[in-house]
Structure formats: structure tokens, C-alpha cells
Structure 1
Amino acid sequence: MLTNDQLIKELTVDPTKGFIERLSVTLREQHFNIDQLIDLTFHADAQVGFRAAWLLDTTILASPEQYVNNLEYFVKRMGQVTNASCKRHYTRIMMHLTAPDAPEPIKAKMSSIDMEIVVEQCFDWIIDPKVKVAVKVFAADTLFNLCSRYDWIKEELASQVQFMMRDGGAAIQSRGKKLLAAIKIQK
């Protein structure tokens, strides 16, 4: 069985092609405590934290139902993410977990969790000019996915998307137009 210390060691060595995928398979097969991996995304070494977030992303999205009982802890910790490289993975995971096509056990669990931490964090990241485009896009998609749960999000999200589009590049323009159209349809 892979220990937490062994996993940290794996995450500190120079990666080879496919190492995250191989580690992810090992974690899933050994039923590694995913809460420990979530904690590793906050490692003092930013590179270890980033690789842990990448591994978390790959592992959870490969088998989300396996981690349904860890989702509440994941949501809680999302509100504490400060590592810029980890933000992308947290928002990407959250975008998939809140998606309309998420597996039924995930939808049921997510509906029982207070998502205000996620909403607040996503809006903060959308507004922050230092946050990378991919994080903003995943955060906006996550917020859109939560519109049916928190109806007030629609107006605020539309305003923030329009603001981002004013100075945004091609990726923001493209995704912004799609989101605004989807928000309009949902009203």
C-alpha cells in the first residue's frame, strides 16, 4: 500500500510521461484516502501541491462515484486554495462534479452539500485579474452549473462574464458568448 510519505516522494521526483495517470490508477486500486491527497494539494512545496492537484483531478474524474463520500471535504478545502497552479484543477473538478451530466450519486451528494464556499470562491477567482484564464472559464462554468440551485447567480454571472469579455482574449470571448447565450436560454 502506498503511504502518504511515499506519495509525496513520488510527487517530488521529475515526472515521466504518464506518471500522473499511473499514480492515479494505483490510488484507485489501493483505495488511497483521497482526503490525504486533497491535503497534499496544500503542501508547502508549491510544485508538490500542483502535482497533487493534478493527480486529484485525474483520480476523481476517472472514478467520481468512488469518492462520493469525500466530496464534502473537497468542497470545504476549495475555499482555502491559494496555490495558483492548484486553482485550475479545483475548478475543473468542481465544473465536472456540478455538471448536469454528472453521475446520479454525485448529483445526490452535491445537492446535500452547502456550496456557498464554492460560489464565493468562483466569483472571487473570476474577478481577480491575476487569476489565469482557464481558472476563470472553469469557475464560470461551475457557477453556471449552480444557477438552478442559487437563482441569483445568473444575473451576477452574466455581469461578470460581460466584464471579463471587455478586455479578454479569444478564449474568454468564445466561452463568454456561449455562457451568456446559455444564461439567456435559462431565464
Structure 2
Amino acid sequence: MITLANINHSKDNREQIATYLINHPKDINLYLAILKAKTVNDYFKAAWALEFVSRISCTTLLPYLDQLISLAKEETADQAIRPFAKIFETFVLKHYKNELSQPLTNSQLEAISEQCFDWLITKQKVAAKAYSMTTLYKLGSTFSWIHPELKVNLEANFNEGSAAFKARARHILKKL
């Protein structure tokens, strides 16, 4: 078992952790429990590991998606919100490319859209907002109300956004 203390920022390190979890999927429950409890120092590193699992094998995380959605709703630490936003973006992109072993349910898609809008309209770091924009844009092909709301939000917050926010918003607005 690989501990959180062994997880760092390097891509190679997180890929090794992800590979371990893909080969030992029962250990994912431990990472989810750590994220829920938030009692371990650097608990957010569990989210980093799960993000890389989603990048390599979303199918491995699919049985845990409802738990991830629930955990994301309660998360306040920037270091964990960014990986959650990336996990949701990855799931949604793979859903629309039919690359998952089973499609996401409408309730999962709705919950992800609600969470992404929450990240978009609250004070979050730009990465979480950028991943949320992409996720919401894709979800707009299923839920007709999303594109108009997304457009209004992006236009309203464009001038206050960082350069990175503006770049992603400009890209999404062109598509809308």
C-alpha cells in the first residue's frame, strides 16, 4: 500500500500511485475515507491520486462516482477542489465520447453540473473554474438550460477574471 506521505506533485509519482490503485481497486475506499474524514495531514493528496486514476482509467473509478460527487460538495480546500473538478471533467468528456464501460446517469450528470456551477460562481482558484467551464459546456448538450446560464455567468465575470479565466471563458464563449 502506498501512503499519502509518498505522494508528491510529480506526474510520474502520481501515475505510479494511480497504477497501484487501478491494480488494487479496493484501496480506493481507503482514499475516499481519508477524503471524507479530513483528519490526516495532506488528506487532499488522496484527491490527487484519484485524479490520476480518472485520467488513466475512469472505469476503475466509475463505481465510486456517487461518493466522489458527495465528497466534492463538502470540500473546501483548494488542493482537493482542483482534482475533483478535473475528475468530473474527465468523466464527462469520456461520457460524451462513449468511452466509459457504462454511461453516466442523468442524476450523476445533474449533480456534476450543480457542483461545477457552484465552483464557477464561488470564489475558487482558476483551475477549478476552467475545468468546470469545459464540463458545463459539454453537459449543455444534455441539459438545455446550461448553455444560456453558462454564457450569462462567463460574460458577467469576464472582466474580473484572471488571464487564465479569460482565456478559457473566451474559448467557451466562442463555442456558445
TM-score of the pair, normalised by structure 2: 0.85
Question: Which whole-Å deviations, capped at 9, do the CAs of 1:108-162 have from their partners, x for residues lacking one?
Answer: 1x13543333222211211113x10111111111111111221101111001111
Match of 1:182 in 2: 175
Shift in alpha-carbon separation, 1:101–1:158, aligned structure 2, 3 A: same
- Aligned-pair distance for 1:14? 7.4
Whether contact under 8 Å (1:41, 1:53) holds in the other structure is yes
**Matching residue of 1:166:** 159
Assess, with a 3 A threshold, how the Cα gap between structure 1 residues 16 and 74 changes in structure 2: closer, same or farther: closer
Which residue of the partner structure matches residue 47 of structure 2? 53
Percent same amino acid among aligned pairs?
23
Shift of 1:177: 1.1
Distance in 2 separating the partners of 1:153 and 1:46: 37
For these two proteins, the number of residue pairs brought into alignment is: 173
Task: Give distance in 2, aligned partners of 1:47 and 1:138.
Answer: 26
What do you get for the CA RMSD once the two structures are aligned? 2.3
Matched, 1:105 2:101: yes
Distance 1:136 1:14, change over 3 A: closer
Query: Contact between 1:54 and 1:89, CA under 8 Å: does it hold in 2?
Result: yes
Deviation at 1:166, TM superposition (A): 1.1
Report the counterpart of residue 81 of structure 1 in structure 2. Answer: 75
In structure 1, the partner of 2:113 is 119
Q: Give the corresponding residue for 1:12.
A: 5
Structure 2, unpaired ranges of 5+: none
- The Cα shift of 1:15 comes to 4.0
Structure 1, unpaired ranges of 5+: none
CA gap of 1:153–1:14, structure 2 versus 1, over 3 A, is: closer
Instruction: Report the TM-score when normalising by structure 1.
Output: 0.80
